[in-house]
């Protein structure tokens, strides 16, 4: 992926195999591009909690996020609660973080903005 394209405008590509797993240096470079997201599971996942006023708003977010996941063919794990949704991205095909996780994190932020 070219760094000239903002993450939010980039699109996911099929990434399979450890060669697509991001190294620590690249993760450190990308993390400031998605403020609010944190590393979890020893750097193998990205998570952020999005808070809402009520269940209806939470579910509207979840449905919009499902559409992005379908369009990008990259799928978050979700913890859905009454007033919040815990979003977790990790690329199981690479066994850790790939560029796809950062692209989708940026698109998720745009949804909630
Ligand atoms: C063929 C297809 O691109 C892959 O199976 C995709 C689908 N969605 C995915 N989502 C996530 N989170 N990780 C993956 O490795 C992944 N792989």
User: What was the ipTM of the complex prediction?
Assistant: 0.95
Whether 110 contacts 8, CB under 8 Å: yes
What pLDDT score does 43 carry? 97
What pLDDT score does 49 carry? 98
What pLDDT score does 4 carry? 85
What pLDDT score does 113 carry? 86
Task: Scan for tokens 């909690």, then name that residue.
Answer: 49
> Cα dist. 102→33, 40, 63, 88 in Å?
8, 14, 20, 11
Reference 91, options 19, 38, 32; nearest CA is 19
Q: Which ligand 1 atom is nearest residue 76's CA?
A: 12
- Which residue from 68, 73, 102 has its CB within 8 A of the most atoms of ligand 1, so it is best to mutate? 73
- For residue range 84-106, list pLDDT tens digits in order: 999 999 999 999 999 999 999 99
Task: Decide whether any atom of ligand 1 lies within 6 Å of the 91 Cβ.
Answer: yes
> Cα dist. 33→26, 52, 101, 107, 112 in Å?
12, 23, 12, 12, 16
Reference 91, options 51, 49, 41, 50; nearest CA is 41
pLDDT beneath 50, residues of the chain: 1-2
Ligand 1 centroid from CA 53, angstroms = 31
Angle at 76 between CA 1 and CA 26, to 5 degrees: 35
Task: Decide whether any atom of ligand 1 lies within 6 Å of the 100 Cβ.
Answer: no
């Amino acid at each position: 992926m070219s760094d000239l394209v903002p993450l939010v405008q980039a699109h996911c590509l099929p990434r399979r195999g450890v060669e697509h797993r991001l190294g620590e240096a690249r993760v450190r470079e990308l993390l400031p591009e998605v403020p609010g997201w944190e590393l979890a599971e020893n750097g193998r996942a990205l998570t952020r909690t999005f808070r809402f006023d009520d269940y209806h708003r939470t579910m509207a977010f979840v449905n919009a996020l499902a559409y992005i996941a379908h369009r990008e063919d990259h799928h978050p794990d979700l913890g859905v609660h009454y007033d919040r949704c815990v979003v977790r991205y990790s690329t199981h095909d690479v066994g850790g973080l790939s560029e796809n996780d950062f692209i989708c994190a940026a698109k998720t932020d745009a949804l909630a903005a």
